[in-house]
Amino acid sequence: MKVLVPLAQGFEEIEAVSIIDILRRAEIEVLVASLNENSLVRGANSIVIQTDLHIKEVSAKELDMIVLPGGWDGTYALADDINVQNLLKEMDGKGQNIAAICAAPFALNKAGVLKSKYTCYPSVEDEIKRDGYQGDLSMVVEDENIMTSRGPATAICFALAIVKKLKGQESYEGIKSGVLADFCS
């Protein structure tokens, strides 16, 4: 299993680190990619993350999933980056798994891959301007090959839902128990 987490300046650190950490605990290979030539990317709260590679080096063929963390500045950069947008379109066209949290469903919508049911950080639905917003009905919303979640506080549950989708119930339960995430359903 191989999952891409692209990071752009201004990404939401809690979301990115929770996703990367939980997936790696599940023994899923996570590629962390930068959008620019600098391998160090500064998040919304000035935490700097070292990436593994540049987004141009990634091919949809090698991925099982792409997961976008939120943060408005990072989200706008993901929505404007041709490499990210092309990966999203190509992966969706093949029915591959795509996930986004917080503001990042905005980038999915710009690529034309967001499905009819989704959730996001409150108020981002006003930027997305489409029906189907599920609000806080669920921490994670799945519609076809797309998973979305609400924000920093739902990041662990979101990452665990990705583990369940990619590795199954047993792996999900093991990681969930290990990180004391009994609040995730």
Q: How high is the pLDDT of residue 95?
A: 97
Q: Which amino acid is it at 22?
A: I
For 2-178, give the CATH class: alpha beta
Give the pLDDT confidence score for residue 136 in this predicted structure: 85
How many C-beta neighbours within 10 Å does residue 85 have? 18
102 catalytic? Reply is yes
Q: Residue length, the chain?
A: 185
Asked if 97 and 105 count as a contact pair (C-beta separation under 8 A), the reply is: no
Query: What is the bridge-based pairing of β-strands 2-7 and 29-34?
Result: parallel
Residue 63 is predicted with a pLDDT of 97
Decide: 150 and 105 in contact? Cβ < 8 Å.
no
Q: Measure the CA–CA gap between 37 and 25, rounded to whole angstroms.
A: 28
pTM over 0.75: yes
Contact, 148 vs 120, CB < 8 A?
Answer: yes
Per-residue pLDDT of the chain (185 residues; tens, 9 = 90+): 999 999 999 999 999 999 999 999 999 999 999 998 889 999 999 999 999 999 999 999 999 999 999 999 999 999 999 999 999 999 999 999 999 999 999 999 999 999 999 999 999 999 898 889 998 889 999 999 999 999 999 999 999 999 999 999 999 999 999 999 999 98
pLDDT at 47: 97
Q: In the chain, which ranges are E strands?
A: 2-7, 29-34, 40-42, 48-50, 53-54, 65-68, 97-101, 140-143, 146-149
Q: How far apart are CA 12 and CA 7, in angstroms?
A: 9
> What does the DSSP 8-state code read for residue 99?
E
Catalytic residue among 102, 120, 157, 184: 102
What pLDDT is recorded for position 106? 97
Domain boundaries, the chain: 2-178
